[in-house]
Structure 1
Amino acid sequence: MGARGELFTTQIVLENRSYFFNVKENRTGDIFLQIVESKNKNGESFDRLQIAVFAEDMQKYLQGFENALAFIHKYEKEKQKLDAQKKQAKKAVYRSKAKDTDGSKESPAQNSPPEVKRTGRVHIVSKRK
């Protein structure tokens, strides 16, 4: 047995964080997984957060973790689909404007509400009544 009851440990290093997955055994012989996040704080110190999941609760923990992962994947796919639809709609608007070259455009003043004055490309809203 290793230091402080460690049976197994592995580390994942990211940009400013490290994750440690430690399998440990406590004094009574119970085996648990300790997950530690170590985050660099201002280059001087580290913030450490940890959770412990005991062996008898591991299946429930993994089930919750897998459900969260499935939700994230589903959410990302839906978001990509919506982004693609928005992009297609935007392209369709630009295409329809490009096709509208028959010269029958109305002046911008006719399209705008009466309280909006247009001067060149700058839009000024009059607050006077």
Structure 2
Amino acid sequence: MGIRGELYTTEVVLDNRSYFFNVKENRNGDIFLQIVESKKGDGADFDRLQISIFQEDMQKVLGGLDSALRFIDKEQKARKKARAEKKALKAEKYGPKSEKRIYRKKDEEDKRLPDGIKRTGKVIHIKSKTEPAADSASDSE
């Protein structure tokens, strides 16, 4: 038996965290799986979270994990299919994405219309029709 009852250990290192899968034996001879997540915390310390799963419960836990993984796979396929359908409907309605549309050329018409609104595309600039009073300019001096 190894250090602290470890029978087997493997490590999975990711960008910002590490996972340790430790098979251990306690003092009573019970074998269990310990899953430890370690991630860099504030400063130089690490945050560690662990889960222990005993041998008699492993099949139930693995069944639940398998069920969750099947759901994730099914959900990903459904979302991918929905995105493809939405993209196809959009392409059917508006045409292919590569086709560039020109709605109005800039020099074709005057940008300032008689109503005093300057239209530049997405933003509408409105110029006030009221002139500032002459005495308000003298107030700022």
Measured against the shorter chain, the TM-score band is: 0.7 to 0.9
- 2:110 alignment partner in structure 1: none
Distance 1:36 1:91 in 2: 47
Query: 5+ residue gaps in structure 1?
Result: 99-116, 125-129
- 2:78 alignment partner in structure 1: 78
Distance 2:121 2:79 in 1: 34
Distance 2:69 2:87 in 1: 27
1:26 matched to 2:26? The reply is yes
Query: 5+ residue gaps in structure 2?
Result: 100-116, 125-141
- 1:127 alignment partner in structure 2: none
Distance 2:88 2:21 in 1: 44
What number of residue pairs does the alignment pair up? 105
Query: For 1:14-60, what per-residue CA distance to the aligned partner results, in whole angstroms no more than 9, with x for missing partners?
Result: 00110000000001110000000001124622110000000000000
Query: For 1:61-86, what per-residue CA distance to the aligned partner results, in whole angstroms no more than 9, with x for missing partners?
Result: 00000000000000000010011011
Give the structure with higher Rg (CA).
Answer: 2
Distance 2:122 2:34 in 1: 61
- 2:35 alignment partner in structure 1: 35
Greater share of strand residues, 1 or 2? 1
TM-score, scaled relative to structure 2: 0.68
- 2:107 alignment partner in structure 1: none
Distance 2:40 2:120 in 1: 53
TM-score, scaled relative to structure 1: 0.74
Letter in 1 for 2:46: F
Greater share of helix residues, 1 or 2? 1
